[in-house]
Amino acid sequence: MNIEKLKSAHKLLCEYKYELGKIEKGYTNRTLYINVGDNTISEKPVTQLMKDKFIGGKGFGLYYLWHAVTPKTKWNDPENEIVIGSGPIGGITQYPGAGKSLVCSISPLTGMPIDSNVGGYFGPLLKFSGFDALELQGKADKDVIIFIDGNKGTITIEEAPEEAIDSHVLGEQLTEMYAENEEDKRNISVVSAGSAANHAYMGLLNFTFYDVRRKQIRLKQAGRGGIGTVFRDKHIKALVIRFAGVKGNLNNADDQGKINRTGIKLHKEIHDFDAQQCRMRQVGTANIIEVMDQYDLLPTHNYKFGAHPDTHKISSKVFTGMITQNTPDGCWYGCSLSCAKAVDHFELRTGPYKGQKVIVDGPEYENAAGLGSNCGIFDPHDVLELNFYCDTYAIDTISYGTMTAFVMECYENGIINKEITGGLELNFGNADASLEMLHQMARGEGFGKLAGLGVRNLKRIFAEQYGGDPVFLNDIGMEQKGLEFSEYMPKESLAQQGGYGLTNKGPQHDEAWLIFMDMVNNQIPTFEDKAEALHYFPMFRTWFGLNGLCKLPWNDIIPASNKHSNEPAKIPEHVQNYVDIFNGVTGKNIDKEQLIVQSERVYNFQRIFNIRMGYGKRIHDAIPYRAMGPVTVEEYLSRADRYDGQLKELVGFNPEGKTTEEKMAALRSYREDQYQKLTDAVYKRRGWTMDGVPTIEHLQAIGMDLPEVIEVVKNHL
Amino acid sequence: MIKLNNRDFEWEEGLTVQGLLDKKNYTYPKLIIKINHVLVLSEEYASTVIRDGDDVKVIHLLAGG
């Protein structure tokens, strides 16, 4: 690549100089605002209110986004922002999983706030460069690159017409361009999207880190909700940061020794137990592919079933053999869990990069399940090829997988046909058709462009334009709030139906994953038990996003003490670790109960933000019936013994002599009623009205009774 | 009959913890198993016999990305 030629085409639009800052107890106490519409750059102070009520990361993102938009703002309005931040713990190197960035925006898919977390180096480097968060606002006329030099204290906005759009190329170009030499490449992180984000609503953001062993960039994804689409709509080609001098003490923690001791304890657990537990260091999150199949939880054929005879072809053993072994794969310094696996020298067989050998970052579990089993695709090479192109084109693998599975079921049911798809034979298992649809999405052509609008829009289009039955389409279209479901089968776990449905941003499992507790362990049998779990776990997991932390080191490694715990699902020793490192960094003195309240404030703020944007009520928490039970006779008959047994034991309905349709109707009536009762119990536990609105009394009790928040709520009580 | 996670489960003579895991296809690696509230260590799964009427808990520690 001719970097000089690319760079010489740049036109400087704006240069800003700033005083290098200092971090005190995890905060720089300053954020950065960049408007690419009018090329203005400024700094904002972090107020005590922000730190007390919103902590950082996703909290800061939602706070800034609230004040940037109005209830009428759409995703592609210039005032919509993309806010990126780490959090007070973010950037420490002593405790695994402390390099996350949290990204917030108004989503093209849902029309309300979305948050997505991502590894890679950008968030910590932003903090070390002097800023707790970055707001991007406005819309540029032509493609621009923003470059932050955290050592020199300069920020530039540059028109950049000639660089690539796709992330695996662009990331390399900009790392080469902005690094001072080979040694300096590790100090660069690039945020970019890709060509499909120009057309599809499910565009993602890639965050790079430079892999010094491979001497190539690696890509981590802020996948959910279409933030990459917003990025490209703003005509931002890339956001680049450079900071040299990462050290373990840059957060100026209040008690570095406490952080060191806590980290050493966890490193030892990972060393001692990971190989017997999750094998994160060997195969990453893909370790659970066959486990999910064995428990009937691996979505196959658009969530019709939870297992498939061909799953062994895409099992973790298969991918273990393809992933490069014995190399450190952490996405931030000091993460010994090292789940960021990669397949090297993968030769592409389709698309614009056909014949090239590339790094595929993954496959993560969600990719194998979404791009693979859920679409009936069981060739690991196809999964990797789809994974690679989704990443570099900037398409969320989860939304793409769930959308494709939906489209395939519609195709097999005759709702759409080859005329409508432009010749694509979108049967389950047709990897070539899925790949071509993805390439079309990147080119903005044909059926692929339509598919990029996501399941919610496709349901409407298939009903209005192609005569599809809207009831059936709503039953099988696995989206809620406009966001596609992530890749777990929730049919047999009422609690997980709530874990998907009773969420702020839509059906993503990062709030709660309760299937084992509920379906297998039977630990939360009553509505009140489930409601308690659907309070605690979403609040606990929200906290990772306030602090720049990854969830995996919490419960993907289990300490020896856990078997003696009264609440093993919470991993109490690790909860205490988080209390300790928060106090160690910030100098505060919270306990595990106060940790939950910190999250509760932001969680309720986000709920009210949704309400402010016209969503966030009970009606928006409904889920498609495919998430609750069998929509089709085929599904019922595939697990007839299970369903017949439940009709007898739970519903009080004798299935003998009844038609399958009669049995399905009885089961559906029961399960839909169960979900409503669960919703009642969860709203009550969360301090909300039965319409899902946080009460003023509850907001006062948790300390989230800000005037602007009350102003919204009081109109809905 | 035994109780397995508070649900009835058919008991048979000589049923071990490992035998129970095999019957249920419980392949997940992060388990806590207790019989009548007493912890069973993983190295004892094959040799620990479950008796008729026992209260067995096989707790899968939750995961999810």
Shared domain for A381 and A500, answered yes or no, is no
Q: What is the pLDDT of residues A307-363, one digit of tens each?
A: 999 999 999 999 999 999 988 889 999 999 999 999 999 999 999 999 999 999 989
H helix runs in A358-396, sequence order: 365-367, 380-393
pLDDT of residue A409: 98
Res. A454 pLDDT band, cuts 50 70 90: very high
Tell me the average pLDDT across A229-251: 98
At A599, phi and psi to the nearest 5? -70, -40
Chain B: closest CA distance from residue A331 (Å): 15
Residues 6+ apart with CB under 8 A from B36: B54, B55
Shared domain for A142 and A219, answered yes or no, is yes
A711, exposed or middle or buried, with CB in 10 Å at 0-12, 13-18, 19+?
exposed
pLDDT of residue B63: 59
Cβ contacts (< 8 Å) between A555 and chain B: which residues? 61-63
| CATH classification of the domain holding A501 | 1.10.599.10
In contact, A36 and A112? CB cutoff 8 Å: no
A268 found inside a domain: yes
Q: What is the pLDDT of residues B29-41, one digit of tens each?
A: 889 999 999 999 9
Task: Say yes or no for a CB contact (<8 Å) between B59 and A276.
Answer: no
Q: What is the pLDDT of residues A66-111, one digit of tens each?
A: 999 999 999 999 999 999 999 999 999 999 999 999 999 999 999 9
Shared domain for A167 and A266, answered yes or no, is no
At A394, phi and psi to the nearest 5? 70, 55
At A3, phi and psi to the nearest 5? -65, -40
- In this predicted structure, the answer to whether residue B65 has a pLDDT above a threshold of 80 is no
In contact, A117 and A68? CB cutoff 8 Å: no
Cβ contacts (< 8 Å) between B23 and chain A: which residues? none
Q: How many domains does chain A have?
A: 3
| Backbone Cα Rg of chain A | 24
Q: A150: which DSSP letter?
A: T
A96-135 residues touching B, CB cutoff 8 A: none
Tell me the average pLDDT across A22-40: 98
What is the percentage of chain A residues whose pLDDT exceeds 90? Answer: 99
Tell which CATH classification among 3.30.499.10, 3.40.630.30, 1.10.340.30, 3.10.20.30 matches the domain B2-60: 3.10.20.30
Structural domain that includes position A381 = 257-484
Q: What is the pLDDT of residues B39-63, one digit of tens each?
A: 999 999 999 999 999 999 999 987 5
Distances (CA, A) of A461 to A409, A456, A467: 15, 9, 9
* Residue B42 to residue A617: CA distance in whole angstroms: 46
pLDDT of residue A328: 80
Q: What is the pLDDT of residues A368-385, one digit of tens each?
A: 999 999 999 999 999 999
Shared domain for A390 and A444, answered yes or no, is yes
- In this predicted structure, the answer to whether residue B64 has a pLDDT above a threshold of 90 is no
In contact, A626 and A702? CB cutoff 8 Å: no
A559 found inside a domain: yes
| CATH classification of the domain holding A9 | 3.60.9.10
Shared domain for A122 and A151, answered yes or no, is yes
Q: Is A29 left (phi over 0), alpha (psi -120 to 50) or beta?
A: left
Following DSSP, what letter does each residue of A392-458 receive, concatenated? HHTB-HHHHHHHHHHHHHHHHTTSS-HHHHTT----TT-HHHHHHHHHHHHHT-HHHHHHTT-HHHH
A511 Cβ under 8 Å from any chain B Cβ = no
Shared domain for A511 and A462, answered yes or no, is no
* Residue B52 to residue A320: CA distance in whole angstroms: 41
Chain B: closest CA distance from residue A66 (Å): 28
H helix runs in A423-563, sequence order: 431-443, 446-451, 455-466, 470-476, 494-501, 515, 527-547, 552-555
| CATH classification of the domain holding A264 | 1.10.569.10
Task: Say yes or no for a CB contact (<8 Å) between B65 and A510.
Answer: yes
Domain-ending residue, one of A484, A517, A538: A484
Shared domain for A142 and A291, answered yes or no, is no
Shared domain for A478 and A558, answered yes or no, is no
Beta bridge partners of A217: A210
A251 found inside a domain: no
Beta bridge partners of B58: B33
Q: What is the pLDDT of residues A648-688, one digit of tens each?
A: 999 999 999 999 999 999 999 999 999 999 999 999 999 99
A247 found inside a domain: no
Task: Say yes or no for a CB contact (<8 Å) between B6 and A295.
Answer: no
Give the pairing type, strands B31-35 and B38-40.
antiparallel
Tell me the average pLDDT across A142-146: 98
Beta bridge partners of A102: A85, A117
Q: What is the pLDDT of residues A575-628, one digit of tens each?
A: 999 999 999 999 999 999 999 999 999 999 999 999 999 999 999 999 999 999
Domain range list for chain B: 2-60
When the pLDDT of each residue in chain A is averaged and rounded to a whole number, the result is 97
Shared domain for A132 and A264, answered yes or no, is no
Domain-ending residue, one of A454, A484, A514: A484
For chain B, give percent helix, strand, coil, nearest 5.
15, 35, 50
Residues in chain B: 65
Shared domain for A219 and A279, answered yes or no, is no
Q: What is the pLDDT of residues A267-276, one digit of tens each?
A: 999 999 999 9
Q: Which one of A290, A551, A563 has the shortest CB-CB distance to B39?
A: A563
In contact, A631 and A625? CB cutoff 8 Å: yes
Q: What is the pLDDT of residues A395-450, one digit of tens each?
A: 999 999 999 999 999 999 999 999 999 999 999 999 999 999 999 999 999 999 99
Cβ contacts (< 8 Å) between B63 and chain A: which residues? 278, 288, 513, 516, 555-556
Shared domain for A461 and A542, answered yes or no, is no
Tell me the average pLDDT across A294-298: 97
A207 found inside a domain: yes
- In this predicted structure, the answer to whether residue A261 has a pLDDT above a threshold of 90 is yes
Cβ contacts (< 8 Å) between B28 and chain A: which residues? 291, 294-295, 516
A155 found inside a domain: yes
Q: Which one of B26, B61, B62 has the shortest CB-CB distance to A514?
A: B62
Question: Closest residue of B to A550, CA-based?
Answer: B65
Q: Which one of A510, A555, A568 has the shortest CB-CB distance to B59?
A: A568
Both tokens assigned to A315:
């099992």
* Residue A223 to residue A221: CA distance in whole angstroms: 5
Shared domain for A276 and A304, answered yes or no, is yes
pLDDT of residue A327: 85
For chain A, give percent helix, strand, coil, nearest 5.
45, 15, 40
Cβ contacts (< 8 Å) between A563 and chain B: which residues? 32, 39
